[in-house]
Amino acid sequence: MMLTSKNLIFRISLAGLLLIIVMAGCLLIGSQDISLQKALQGPTIEGIPNSDYQILVSVRLPRVILAAIVGAALACSGVVFQAILRNPLADPYILGVSSGAGLGSIIAVMLGWTWTVWGLSALMVASFIGAMGTVWLVWSIGKVTGRVHVTGLLLAGVVVNALFSAVIMFLSSIAEAKKFQTTMLWLMGSFVELDKLSPLIASGIIVLLGIVFLLMLGNQLNILSFGRQDARSLGIPIERTCFLAFGCAALITSIAVSFSGLVGFVGLIVPHAVRLVAGPDHRQLIPLSALIGAAFLVIADAVARVVVAPAMLPVGVVTAMTGGPFFLILLIRYTKTIHWGRP
């Protein structure tokens, strides 16, 4: 069965509906019980501030939306990295792109950059530069270690990831002591506290545009996953496509990282699960992974909020605890079926 626009739209709507249901459900979950009925009565009831409304609108809503944006961005860039590197085990976290972005943001914080352009904070810009730099670094190391070696790239990512995490740790240790706890939490992946929706709007729009852009590259990604030689003879402008796709993936990853720190494995689990159900066609894998990734992270965040309430678990802990074992299972499965480099 080939993909038609009709069944693509149908599947996207279905996944979208699922996301909305999940978001609505998770709005009602939290360390504090709130009543939906009461919350829906507006900001005040007979002159008295409605605390349930406050919690729902100012605390949980921004947070759920944030989780959805981050999940969509990470899952989508996971798909892109997997396609171009021809490796089902790639993910922005495993490849070190997330920690590159993290390093960028930490440096921005330490230098005290606070400017914003078009709704983009210095943090995001620095984190984008960090992410792009890492993509370039991992890509060139992978190139040196072997033209088509899958392992070389993965190892490069692992090493870069470890190195950057260490530098981040170092920088946060020499920062003021009271900031240490915050950066630690951030490193483990946890959402910044937001009391307004406005900073989310610009990033949400960028992530959405990025996903649509990547969706338009769907055919190219399909062909690129057959390798560069094949892609070339099928008429793909390889350098340009790789640059656009990597750039866009790094952009949405860095937005996610600047909001949430290092949340791992979303880009690994979600595309894989979607591929199992809906097949490998990137024209549908990208939008579906975005929606399912959003839903997955909203749920993971809800778990993080309630499991040790009233304290809060970094959401990265939840995703890593589910994603780590999953990664190992995939690793065992794929080492059996994939030729790791040339014999």
Partner 1 sequence: MSLIEMQNVTFAYDRQPVLKALSLSVEANSFWAVVGPNGSGKSTFLNLLCGQLKPDAGNVHVDGRAASSFSSQQLAGILSMVRQEFVPVFGFSVRQTVMMARYYRKPSALFENTEDIEAVDAALMATDTLEFADRPLGRLSGGERQRVFIARALAQETPVLLLDEPTSHLDLKHQIRIFDLLKQMQCEQGKTILLVTHDLNLAAQYCDKVLLLGPEGDFFQGPPEGVLDSGQIQSIFGVRGYQGQIQKRKFFVPLGQFSKDLPESST
Q: Applying CB under 8 A, which residues contact partner 1?
A: 1-5, 83, 86-88, 215-216, 218-220, 222-223, 225-227, 229-230, 232-238, 275, 279-281, 283, 337-339
Name the residue nearer to partner 1 (CB basis): 223 or 250. 223
Question: CB 107 → partner 1: shortest distance, Å?
Answer: 36
Please choose, from the candidates 249, 84, 247, 97, the residue with its C-alpha nearest in 3D space to the C-alpha of residue 160: 97
Residue number, 222 or 254, with CB nearest to partner 1: 222
Structure tokens at 103: 């390093």
Closest by CA position to 65, among listed 23, 93, 103: 23
* Closer residue to partner 1, CB minimum distance, 5 or 198: 5
236 or 300: CB nearest partner 1? 236
Written as six digits, the tokens of 16 are 């979208």
- CB 275 to partner 1: min, Å: 7
Q: Is residue 168 within 8 Å of residue 99, measured between CB atoms? A: yes
Minimum distance, C-beta of residue 274 to partner 1, in the bound complex (Å): 12
Nearer to partner 1, 120 or 208 (CB): 208
Residues 6+ apart with CB under 8 A from 253: 73, 74, 77, 92, 97, 98, 101, 131
> For residues 298-313, b (16+ Cβ closer than 10 Å) or e, as one string?
bbbbbbbbeeeeeebb
Q: Which is nearer to partner 1, 28 or 148 (CB)?
A: 148
Nearer to partner 1, 183 or 220 (CB): 220
Q: Return the structure tokens found at 26.
A: 């998770």
Q: Which is nearer to partner 1, 53 or 327 (CB)?
A: 327
> CA–CA separation, 73 vs 46, rounded Å?
42
Please give the structure tokens belonging to residue 326. Answer: 């999953």
Minimum CB separation of residue 267 from partner 1 in Å reads 15
CB of 140 to partner 1, least distance (A): 20
Residue 225 C-beta: closest distance to partner 1, Å: 6
Nearest-approach distance from CB 258 to partner 1, in angstroms: 30
Residue 256's SS3 state is helix
Closest CA to 207 of 12, 76, 13: 76
Of 340, 256, 206, 337, the C-alpha closest to 78 is: 256
* DSSP result, 90-128: --TTTTTHHHHHHHHHHHHHHTT---EETTEEHHHHHHH
Question: How many angstroms separate the CA atoms of 275 and 9, rounded?
Answer: 17
Burial degree of 321 (CB within 10 A; 0-12, 13-18, 19+): middle
Nearer to partner 1, 83 or 300 (CB): 83
Nearest to 107 by CA among 86, 130, 75, 85: 130
